[in-house]
Amino acid sequence: MKELLKDIYAVLEDVESYLHACSIISFDQQTVCPPDGMEQQGEVQAFLENKAFCLLKEEEFTRNTEKLYAGLDDLDNAYDRSLALMLHRTYLKKKNITPEMDKEFSLIINKAFVKWLEAKEKADFSIFEPSLSAIREMSVKETALREESLPLAYDNLLYDYEYGLGTKELDACFSICRERLVPLLQKIQNSPKKIRTDFLTRPVTDEQQKEMARYLLDVIGFDFRRGTFSTSEHPFTDGLGENDVRVTTNYDPNLFCSSIFSIVHEGGHALFELLQPKENFAHHISTRKTMGMHESVSRFYENRIGRSRAFIHLIFGKAKEIFADVLSDVTENEFYEAVNVVAPSLIRTDADEFTYIFHIMIRYELEKMILSGEAPIHDLPSLWNDKYEEYLGIRPSNDREGVLQDVHWTSGFGYFPSYAIGNMYNAMYFNRMQEDLDVDQKVASGDFASINAWMAEHVFKKADLLDPAEWIQDITGRSLTPDDFLDYLEKKYSEIYEL
Is residue 181 situated within a structural domain? yes
Picking from 149, 179, 214, the residue at the C-terminal end of a domain is 149
Residue 326 pLDDT: 96
Question: Do 135 and 183 belong to one domain?
Answer: no
* Statement to judge: residues 130 and 201 lie in one domain: no
pLDDT of residue 1: 85
What are the beta bridge partners of residue 248?
230
* Domain that includes residue 196, residue range: 167-496
- Answer for the pair 392, 401: CB distance below 8 angstroms, yes or no: no
The tens place of each residue's pLDDT in the chain, 499 residues long, gives 889 999 999 999 999 999 999 999 999 999 999 999 998 998 999 999 999 999 999 999 999 999 999 999 899 899 999 999 999 999 999 999 999 999 999 999 999 999 999 999 999 999 999 999 999 999 999 999 999 999 999 999 999 999 999 999 999 999 999 999 999 999 999 999 999 999 999 999 999 999 999 999 999 999 999 999 999 988 999 999 999 999 999 999 999 999 999 999 999 999 999 999 999 999 999 999 999 999 999 999 999 999 999 999 999 999 999 999 999 999 999 999 999 999 999 999 889 999 999 999 999 999 999 999 999 999 999 999 999 999 999 999 999 999 999 999 999 999 999 999 999 999 999 999 999 999 999 999 999 999 999 999 999 999 999 999 999 999 999 999 999 999 999 999 999 999 9
**pLDDT of res. 350:** 86
Residues annotated as part of the active site: 266
SS (H, E, C) 211-228: HHHHHHHHHHCCCCCCEE
Task: Based on the fold, state whether residues 284 and 172 are members of the same structural domain.
Answer: yes
Look at residue 189 and tell me if it is in a domain: yes
Q: Is residue 161 part of a domain?
A: no
Q: Is residue 156 part of a domain?
A: no
- Last residue within a domain, chosen from 114, 149, 184: 149
Q: Are residues 211 and 272 in the same domain?
A: yes
Asked if the structure places residue 336 within a domain, the reply is yes
Question: Number of structural domains, the chain?
Answer: 2
Q: What is the CATH number of the domain that holds 193?
A: 1.10.1370.30
Residue 416 lies in a domain: yes
Within this chain, do residues 201 and 342 fall inside the same structural domain, yes or no? yes
| Domain identity same for 87 and 187 | no
- Pair 131, 177 in one domain: no
Cα distance between residue 230 and residue 247, in whole Å: 6
Q: What single-letter amino acid sits at 452?
A: N
Instruction: Tell me whether residue 403 is in a domain.
Output: yes
- Kindly state whether residue 162 falls inside one of the protein's structural domains: no
- 268 and 356 belong to one structural domain: yes
Model pLDDT, residue 360: 97
- 196 within 8 A of 337, measured Cβ to Cβ: yes
Q: Which residues contact 295 (CB under 8 A, 6 or more apart)?
A: 418, 419, 421, 422, 423
Distance CA 230, CA 250 (A): 8
pTM exceeds 0.75 for this model:
yes
Q: What are phi and psi of 54, to 5 degrees?
A: -60, -35
> Under 8 Å CB-to-CB from 206, ≥6 apart: which residues?
251, 253
One domain, residues 407 and 476: yes
Among 118, 149, 180, the domain boundary falls at: 149
Measured distance CA(123)–CA(140) in Å, rounded: 27
Q: pLDDT at position 155, please?
A: 97
Residues 77 and 175 placed together within one structural domain of the fold? no
Same domain (yes/no): 223, 286: yes
CB contact burial 341-378 (16+ within 10 A = b; e otherwise): bbebbbbbbbbbbbbbbbbbbbbbbbbbbbbeeebebe
* 345 & 222 share domain: yes
